[in-house]
Structure 1
Amino acid sequence: MVSSSTTISVSCAPKKSRSRTPQKKITVKVKTQQGGEEDVYKIGYGTHMSRLMEAYCNNRNLEEGTVRFIFGKKQLKPRSTPAQLRMEEGDVIDIVTDQDGA
């Protein structure tokens, strides 16, 4: 089983705010259903999931349109955040790769 760890440190917060406390981050696992491979990502609680999706596809050399990210039996939307999804430390996001008929 192959496992890797990636930190996504991009925030959606305005950059001018100096007195802000650091953004809370959580660790989530991204697991393929076909092979059971697992990657670990650390993502800001207010960061859009599109950042995680892009990082996963780049790490695995996949085109973004060929992969679906599933959390809580629902497909993730790129503009959703871990806070909106009520994700907790160690939650698992399942990956479904769309297969071409060719």
Structure 2
Amino acid sequence: MSDADNSTPSKPEAGEQSEHLNIKVTDGNNEVFFKIKRSTQLKKLMDAFCDRQGKAPASVRFLFDGTRVSGVDSPHTLDMQDGDTLEVHQEQIGGGSW
């Protein structure tokens, strides 16, 4: 019998990217971890975070590397890596000149 019959699953090598990413979403007080596909629209993640935290999606904004994230963005379009963080901030209302 040879070692070629060994059918252990292989892990992605250093240069390869897996299909799923672990993304941390934090609002400064809470951290929630999500495992999503690279092609999944971030709207699903954003809505799930808001549901878990009891926040209205329109009342917060999501940032990745200081840039606002849209619901149609995906980890692939933002070039996100495993373990990256999305920051959640309270949406500012008003503040115009008077």
Work out whether the TM-score is over 0.5: yes
TM-score scaled by length of structure 1: 0.70
Structure 2 runs not aligned, ≥5 long: 1-17
TM-score scaled by length of structure 2: 0.72
Question: In structure 1, the residue corresponding to 2:77 is in which secondary structure?
Answer: helix
* Distance in 2 separating the partners of 1:93 and 1:77: 12
1:28 to 19, 23, 26: 23
Matching of residue 92 in structure 1 with residue 85 in structure 2: yes
* Distance in 2 separating the partners of 1:61 and 1:89: 26
Query: Judging changes above 3 Å, is the alpha-carbon distance between structure 1 residues 77 and 100 closer, same or farther for their aligned structure 2 residues?
Result: closer
**Matching of residues 1-102 of structure 1 within 5 Å:** 24-33=19-28, 35=29, 37-98=30-91
Larger radius of gyration between Structure 1 and Structure 2: 2
Partner residue of 1:20? none
* Distance in 2 separating the partners of 1:100 and 1:84: 29
- Number of residue-to-residue matches in the alignment: 77
Structure 1 runs not aligned, ≥5 long: 1-22
CA deviations over 1:21-47 (Å, ceiling 9, x no partner): xx81100100113x2x21101111000
Q: Select the structure that is richer in strand.
A: 1
Moved runs in structure 1, 4+ residues, more than 3 A? none
The one-letter amino acid paired with 1:90 is G
RMSD, aligned CA: 1.7
